[in-house]
């Protein structure tokens, strides 16, 4: 059994057949774009800051995505070696810019695990902690150190990644490697708006288990808004593996995702809808 998921059985014949018809993740990629009301997000973020709470565009998007995924769990499935797996956790990966000790720009990839009791505030705090820790020029996270090791000897990287890929195919990749790999993730998200760039449709990696990739682009004018209103939308480029869920299941998921982005205040409570520990203690 895989360290990161459980084989899903009892699927309909057509769902079981799809990974054979489209064995590669890049065979099965569907692209879609969507738009988020930037005014709603900005007003919410500003209000929370006035209340002394820090939230960001990314933390709101991730919280809305995770809440919708808890209600529509098939978007957290993944395909490996033509088999469908139910992931036994939820995590998301993203890239940050940092500066090396010699002053040159660099990138590093972070992965954060979430729990059903998380809220938009706990997600925002965890993102901040990970970014702050990894922005330190001298700091290299476990992923960076693993990559540095793999490339430390000529030819070693080819052996390391070939071995990891084939172990992964057969469910034998060690849990420790899966945990440090940003490509074994429920969601990969990138914020190109942070570098004033348009959104793109970013591929889902063949290596690993990424089933959905979302790219946030710089805000654009709302074409449906009255002239001179200045209303803006934040575009999203979404790429998804069509083999993990049917069209109607994806439609229901994205409807919920969109609904929560329009009402971000609902993300302030436990994302699974359960009672918080503080509320339970108060009732007791």
Give the predicted TM-score (pTM) of the model: 0.90
Instruction: Give 7's contacts (C-beta < 8 A, 6+ positions apart).
Output: 1, 83, 84, 85, 86
The 10s digit of each residue's pLDDT in 213-241 is: 999 999 999 988 888 788 999 999 999 99
- For the chain, the first-to-last Cα distance in angstroms comes to 41
Contact between 219 and 246 under an 8 Å Cβ cutoff? The reply is: no
Report how far apart, in Å, the C-alpha atoms of 28 and of each of 18, 83, 92 are. 9, 14, 21
d(C-alpha 7, C-alpha 80), whole Å: 10
Q: What is the dihedral of CA 61, 63, 64, 68, to 10 degrees?
A: 140
Geometric angle at alpha carbon 55, from 50 and 61, rounded to 5°: 140
Report how far apart, in Å, the C-alpha atoms of 55 and of each of 48, 61, 264 are. 7, 10, 11
- The distance of Cα 101 from the centroid of its chain, to the nearest Å, equals 29
Instruction: Report the pLDDT value the prediction gives residue 283, as an integer from 0 to 100.
Output: 47
Q: What is the dihedral of CA 63, 64, 70, 75, to 10 degrees?
A: -110
DSSP state of 24: S
Q: DSSP assignment of 216-277, as one string?
A: E---EE-TTSPTT---EEEEEEEEEETTSS-HHHHHHHHHHHHHHHH-GGGGGS-TTSPPPH
Spell out where 20-82 has E strands: 29-37, 77-80
The 10s digit of each residue's pLDDT in 187-218 is: 999 999 988 999 999 999 999 999 999 999 99
Domain ranges of the chain: 5-268
Contact between 186 and 92 under an 8 Å Cβ cutoff? The reply is: yes
* pLDDT bucket at 27, cuts 50 / 70 / 90: very high
* pLDDT bucket at 284, cuts 50 / 70 / 90: very low
| Beta bridge pairs of residue 99 | 105
Q: Express as a percent the part of the chain with pLDDT over 90.
A: 73
The 10s digit of each residue's pLDDT in 120-151 is: 999 999 999 998 887 765 556 667 677 777 77
DSSP state of 92: E
Listed residue (18, 33, 67, 70) closest to 215, CA to CA: 33
CATH 3.30.559.10 corresponds to the domain 5-268: yes
The 10s digit of each residue's pLDDT in 34-89 is: 999 999 999 999 999 999 999 999 999 999 999 999 999 999 999 999 999 999 99
Contact between 193 and 218 under an 8 Å Cβ cutoff? The reply is: yes
What mean pLDDT, rounded, does the chain reach? 90
Instruction: Report the pLDDT value the prediction gives residue 280, as an integer from 0 to 100.
Output: 43
């Amino acid at each position: 059994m895989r360290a990161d998921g459980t084989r899903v059985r009892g699927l309909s014949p057509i769902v079981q057949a799809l990974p054979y018809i489209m064995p590669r993740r890049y065979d099965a990629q569907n692209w879609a774009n969507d738009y988020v009301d930037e005014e709603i997000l900005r007003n919410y973020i500003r209000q929370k800051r006035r209340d002394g709470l820090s939230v960001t565009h990314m933390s709101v998007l991730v919280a809305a995505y995770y809440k919708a995924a808890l209600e529509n769990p098939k978007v957290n499935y993944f395909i490996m070696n033509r088999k469908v797996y139910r992931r036994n956790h939820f995590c998301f990966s993203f890239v940050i810019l940092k500066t090396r000790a010699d002053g040159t720009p660099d990138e590093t990839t972070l992965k954060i695990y979430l729990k059903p009791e998380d809220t938009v505030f706990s997600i925002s705090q965890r993102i901040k902690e990970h970014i702050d820790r990894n922005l330190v020029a001298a700091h290299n996270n476990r992923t960076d150190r693993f990559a540095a090791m793999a490339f430390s000897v000529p030819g070693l990287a080819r052996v390391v990644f070939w071995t990891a890929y084939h172990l992964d195919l057969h469910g034998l990749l060690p849990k420790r490697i899966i945990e440090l790999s940003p490509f074994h993730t429920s969601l990969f998200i990138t914020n190109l708006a942070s570098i004033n760039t348009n959104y793109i449709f970013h591929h889902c990696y063949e290596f690993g288990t990424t089933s959905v990739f979302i790219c946030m682009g710089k805000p654009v004018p709302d074409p449906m808004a009255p002239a001179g209103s200045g209303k803006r939308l934040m575009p999203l480029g979404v790429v998804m593996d069509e083999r993990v869920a049917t069209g109607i299941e994806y439609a229901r998921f994205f409807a919920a995702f969109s609904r929560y982005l329009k009402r971000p205040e609902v993300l302030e409570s436990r994302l699974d809808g359960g009672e918080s520990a503080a509320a339970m203690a108060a009732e007791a």
